[in-house]
């Protein structure tokens, strides 16, 4: 995640790159907008991640005013992850597709094509565009069921 450089109103396009570990929300906002985490996503589920992105997008979709601030309110050590060691590439792309489909159900296949193309161009990625795209489509299919 990139560091937030300036205080600004959050938009859909910049919130998917923000994690909730640094989010501050008033309790009454959660009840007013009936907001909660999607329990199908996150640690301990088949969809091992994405609960924070879905939560943030639900907030934006319901009209909650969100702001991004460069002021640190918490810290997190992201130097080493035990989670990333337990997931393989196929699982990662399938889970990502389920998150994408949850947020953008009508656009998920187009976003999958773009994401697969970008991922296949990364130097460290050994998977081909077609293989990554198949993983994305499998995740979208699983999410639709």
Q: What phi and psi values does residue 9 have, to the nearest 5 degrees?
A: -70, 135
Range(s) of the domain holding residue 85: 80-145
Among residues 9, 100, 116, the alpha carbon closest in space to that of 63 is found at 9
According to the model, what pLDDT value does residue 29 have?
92
Domains of the chain: total: 2
CB 123 within 8 A of CB 102: no
According to the model, what pLDDT value does residue 86 have?
52
Q: Say whether 9 sits in a helix, a strand or coil.
A: strand
According to the model, what pLDDT value does residue 31 have?
92
Among residues 105, 127, 132, the alpha carbon closest in space to that of 116 is found at 132
Residues 65 and 5 in one domain: yes
CB 127 within 8 A of CB 118: no
According to the model, what pLDDT value does residue 28 have?
93
Q: Which of the 8 DSSP states describes residue 122? A: S
In the chain, which stretches have pLDDT less than 50? none
Residues 4 and 69 in one domain: yes
According to the model, what pLDDT value does residue 118 have?
93
According to the model, what pLDDT value does residue 137 have?
97
Residues 3 and 25 in one domain: yes
Residues 89 and 36 in one domain: no
* Cα first-last separation, the chain: 31
According to the model, what pLDDT value does residue 139 have?
95
Last residue of a domain, which of 19, 38, 73?
73
Residues 131 and 64 in one domain: no
Residues 2 and 67 in one domain: yes
According to the model, what pLDDT value does residue 141 have?
94
Tens digit of each residue's pLDDT (9 = 90 or more) over 79-88: 776 555 555 7
């Amino acid at each position: 995640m990139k560091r937030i450089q300036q205080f600004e109103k959050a938009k859909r396009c910049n919130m998917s790159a923000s994690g909730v570990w640094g989010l501050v929300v008033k309790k009454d906002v959660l009840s007013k907008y009936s907001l909660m985490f999607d329990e199908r996503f996150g640690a301990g589920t088949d969809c091992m991640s994405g609960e924070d992105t879905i939560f943030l997008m639900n907030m934006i979709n319901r009209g909650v005013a969100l702001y991004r601030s460069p002021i640190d309110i918490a810290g997190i050590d992201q130097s080493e992850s035990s989670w990333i060691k337990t997931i393989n590439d196929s699982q990662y792309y399938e889970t990502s597709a389920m998150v994408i489909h949850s947020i953008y159900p009508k656009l998920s296949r187009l976003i999958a094509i773009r994401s697969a193309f970008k991922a296949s161009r990364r130097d460290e990625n050994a998977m081909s565009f077609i293989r990554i795209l198949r993983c994305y489509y499998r995740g979208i299919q699983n999410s639709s069921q």
